[in-house]
């Protein structure tokens, strides 16, 4: 089987979140075990895959524009197979629309459940005239897939697939299915293997990592899983994405405090500061509960960083509700925030809600929010000037061989100078004295390797 496809080249273009990036690594792994090799660029590919994101309209528009631009390439190279997959493709109406709009251009459309079926789908797409579509929600599991990782220092490891939260604005539960935890043994085996291969950092992936294990028959929690993973040899840092503020237990805070590999970075999407809006969003916590969680974390782990996601312009968001979001941002002082303008996703409850906020007003609110958050991010970074931070070296920064780049345990980027008498290797942990800040990164000077 592998022989037949020898020399065929693939190229994957990925949109969206880490989950999607990691799915592309699984797709690459499948293709390589089928004998494909990676193409240098899309012009050079025999198979071009576009892995899409549906979380906001803007993400979808980017994908549509990109696919449209592939037409001249396909005309020049008609034997090239073009496939569209991922979260956009998983939606029935969108898959049908893509099939019609990009007839004779897209050969295969497959959803997030179909990744393990890719070899057969490719065969079908080669044999058949017209577009092949597989958006069946049958989950065959992914344990056997040999993932082809992009990086050799940091690795993503899925711990749960899907989401059961149904936040009222969000499309993810509809395109990724119900929450499904991986067996802890499989996760542990994968992380141990990564440690042996020389990876230094793992990021555990799930839409709501805190609910890990709830669907399994055995007794296991996210806190217990972290405790086990903290023992794995070779791995120096453990991160996770995303944790839901509703399910963050005291036990979990303690495990993070005590686990020397578990980074003190909490990404806790707040989404909105008003209780009325939080309830309409179906988030399952109040502003008071969220504040309580933040103070517990800061009490237990004073040097931690807290980051968040915020949405402005959710249906019915009044000036007062928005002021509540601003108030939370001022009180909590997040290290940084991803800020989004609410985007109507067809099929979600919020899309049917009345009082959609006018675009102009959403734009005004997001500008106010971004200004405030940038100021806070900068002030917090200023406070770090003079401190000594543990940095995992990721490589050389730009042209200058003596300037390195890496991240702190709290996930801040640090660019730093080291003496030119020796070279630092990617994957080394070192101490860096912070000397200056910019909004998005810190600058410093190498002290010593640890």
Residues found near ligand F3S in the complex (CB under 6 A): 16-17, 19-20, 53-55, 87, 171-172, 175-176
* 34: nearest Cα among 63, 5, 9, 10: 5
Nearest-approach distance from CB 165 to ligand SF4, in angstroms: 4
Question: Would you count residue 284 as binding ligand SF4 (CB under 6 A)?
Answer: no
Query: Segment contacting ligand SF4 (CB under 6 A): 168-176, 212-220, 227-235, 316-324?
Result: 168-176
Nearest-approach distance from CB 281 to ligand SF4, in angstroms: 8
**CB nearer ligand F3S, residue 58 or residue 375:** 58
Number of residues that bind ligand SF4 (CB under 6 A): 10
Query: Segment contacting ligand SAH (CB under 6 A): 132-140, 143-151, 166-174, 352-360?
Result: 166-174
Residue 20 binding target from ligand SF4, ligand SAH, ligand F3S, none, CB below 5 to 8 Å by type: ligand F3S
Q: Are 432 and 391 in contact, with CB atoms under 8 Å apart?
A: yes
Q: Using CB under 6 A as the criterion, what x/- string covers residues 126-165 for binding ligand SAH? A: ----------------------------------------
Q: Are 203 and 240 in contact, with CB atoms under 8 Å apart?
A: yes
DSSP code at position 388: E
Nearest-approach distance from CB 184 to ligand F3S, in angstroms: 23
Query: Segment contacting ligand SF4 (CB under 6 A): 30-38, 80-88, 167-175, 180-188?
Result: 167-175
Identify the residue whose tokens are 């549906």: 54
What do you get for the CA distance between the two ends of the chain, in Å?
48
User: Phi and psi at residue 62, in whole multiples of 5°?
Assistant: -60, -45
For residues 85 and 231, give the distance between their C-alpha atoms in angstroms, rounded to a whole number: 37
Using CB under 6 A, pick the residue from 208, 307, 308, 415 that binds ligand SF4: 208
3-state SS, 243-289, equals CCHHHCCHHHHHHHHHCCCECCEEECCCECCCHHHHHHHCCCCCHHH
Query: Segment contacting ligand SAH (CB under 6 A): 89-97, 107-115, 119-127, 337-345?
Result: 337-345
User: Phi and psi at residue 289, in whole multiples of 5°?
Assistant: -60, -40
Retrieve residue 209's tokens.
């990592």
Residue 166 binding target from ligand SF4, ligand SAH, ligand F3S, none, CB below 5 to 8 Å by type: ligand SF4
Cα radius of gyration (the chain): 23
Within 220-259, which residues bind ligand SAH (CB under 6 A)? 242, 244
Query: Segment contacting ligand SAH (CB under 6 A): 79-87, 227-235, 335-343, 370-378?
Result: 335-343
Q: Are 90 and 111 in contact, with CB atoms under 8 Å apart?
A: yes
Question: Would you count residue 345 as binding ligand SAH (CB under 6 A)?
Answer: yes
Nearest-approach distance from CB 307 to ligand F3S, in angstroms: 16
Question: Would you count residue 109 as binding ligand SAH (CB under 6 A)?
Answer: no
For residues 200 and 429, give the distance between their C-alpha atoms in angstroms, rounded to a whole number: 9
Retrieve residue 75's tokens.
């005309």
Question: Would you count residue 340 as binding ligand SAH (CB under 6 A)?
Answer: yes
For residues 254 and 442, give the distance between their C-alpha atoms in angstroms, rounded to a whole number: 28
**CB nearer ligand SAH, residue 64 or residue 429:** 64
For residues 25 and 10, give the distance between their C-alpha atoms in angstroms, rounded to a whole number: 12
Question: Would you count residue 53 as binding ligand SAH (CB under 6 A)?
Answer: no
Q: Are 84 and 107 in contact, with CB atoms under 8 Å apart?
A: no
Number of residues that bind ligand SAH (CB under 6 A): 16
- Which are the contacts of 447, defined by CB distance < 8 A and separation ≥ 6? 388, 430, 431, 432, 433
Question: Would you count residue 19 as binding ligand SF4 (CB under 6 A)?
Answer: no
- Which residues are 82's β-sheet partners? 48
**CB nearer ligand SF4, residue 168 or residue 336:** 168
How many other C-beta atoms lie within 10 A of the C-beta of residue 60? Answer: 21
Instruction: Provide the CA 138 distance to its chain's centre, in angstroms.
Output: 23
Question: Would you count residue 165 as binding ligand SF4 (CB under 6 A)?
Answer: yes
Question: Would you count residue 244 as binding ligand SF4 (CB under 6 A)?
Answer: yes
Overall residue count recorded for the chain in this entry: 450
Residue of closest CB approach to ligand F3S: 16
Question: Would you count residue 209 as binding ligand SF4 (CB under 6 A)?
Answer: no
**CB nearer ligand SF4, residue 243 or residue 373:** 243
DSSP letter for each residue of 327-373: HHHHHH--SEEEEEE----TTSGGGG-S-PPPHHHHHHHHHHHHHHH
Nearest-approach distance from CB 272 to ligand SAH, in angstroms: 9
Residue 342 binding target from ligand SF4, ligand F3S, ligand SAH, none, CB below 5 to 8 Å by type: ligand SAH
Applying CB under 6 A, the residues found at the interface with ligand SAH are 55-56, 169-170, 172, 207, 242, 244, 269, 271, 309, 311, 340, 342-343, 345
Applying CB under 6 A, the residues found at the interface with ligand SF4 are 163, 165-167, 170, 172-173, 207-208, 244
């Amino acid at each position: 089987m592998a022989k037949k496809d020898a020399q065929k080249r693939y190229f994957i273009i990925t949109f969206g979140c880490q989950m999607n990036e990691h799915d592309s690594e699984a797709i690459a792994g499948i293709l390589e075990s089928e004998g494909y090799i990676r193409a240098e660029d899309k012009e050079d590919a025999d198979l071009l895959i576009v892995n899409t994101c549906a979380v906001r309209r803007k993400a979808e528009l980017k994908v549509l524009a990109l696919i449209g631009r592939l037409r001249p390439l396909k005309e020049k190279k008609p034997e090239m197979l073009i496939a569209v997959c991922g979260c956009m493709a998983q939606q029935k109406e969108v898959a049908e629309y893509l099939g019609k709009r990009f007839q004779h251009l897209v050969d295969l459309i497959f959803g997030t459940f179909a990744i393990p079926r890719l070899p057969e789908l490719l065969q079908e797409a080669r044999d058949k005239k017209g577009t092949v579509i597989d958006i069946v929600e049958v989950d065959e599991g992914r344990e056997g897939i040999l993932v082809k990782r992009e990086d050799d220092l940091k690795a993503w490891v899925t711990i749960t697939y899907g989401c059961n939260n149904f936040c009222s604005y969000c499309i993810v539960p509809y395109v990724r299915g119900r929450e499904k935890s991986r067996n802890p043994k499989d996760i542990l085996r994968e992380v141990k293997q990564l440690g042996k291969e020389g990876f230094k950092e793992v990021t555990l992936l799930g839409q709501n990592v805190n609910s890990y294990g709830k669907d399994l028959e055995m007794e296991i929690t996210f806190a217990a899983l972290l405790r086990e993973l903290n023992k794995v040899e070779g791995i120096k840092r453990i991160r996770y994405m995303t944790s839901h503020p509703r399910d963050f237990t005291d036990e979990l805070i303690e495990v993070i405090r005590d686990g020397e590999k578990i980074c003190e970075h909490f990404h806790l999407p707040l989404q909105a500061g008003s209780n009325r809006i939080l309830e309409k969003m179906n988030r399952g916590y109040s502003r008071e509960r969220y504040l309580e969680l933040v103070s517990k974390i800061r009490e237990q782990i004073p040097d931690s960083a807290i980051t968040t996601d915020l949405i402005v312009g959710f249906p019915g968001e009044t000036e007062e509700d928005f002021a509540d979001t601003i108030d939370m941002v001022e009180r909590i002082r997040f290290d940084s925030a991803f800020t989004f303008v609410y985007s109507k996703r067809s099929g979600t409850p919020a899309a049917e809600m009345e009082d959609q906020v006018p675009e102009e007003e959403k734009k005004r609110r997001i500008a106010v929010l971004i200004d405030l958050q940038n100021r806070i991010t900068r002030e917090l970074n200023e406070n770090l000037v003079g401190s000594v931070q543990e940095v995992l070296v990721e490589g050389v920064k730009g042209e200058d061989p003596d300037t390195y780049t890496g991240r702190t345990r709290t996930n801040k980027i640090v660019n730093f100078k080291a003496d030119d008498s020796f070279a630092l290797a990617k994957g080394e942990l070192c101490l860096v004295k912070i000397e200056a800040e910019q909004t998005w990164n810190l600058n410093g000077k190498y002290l010593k390797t640890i």
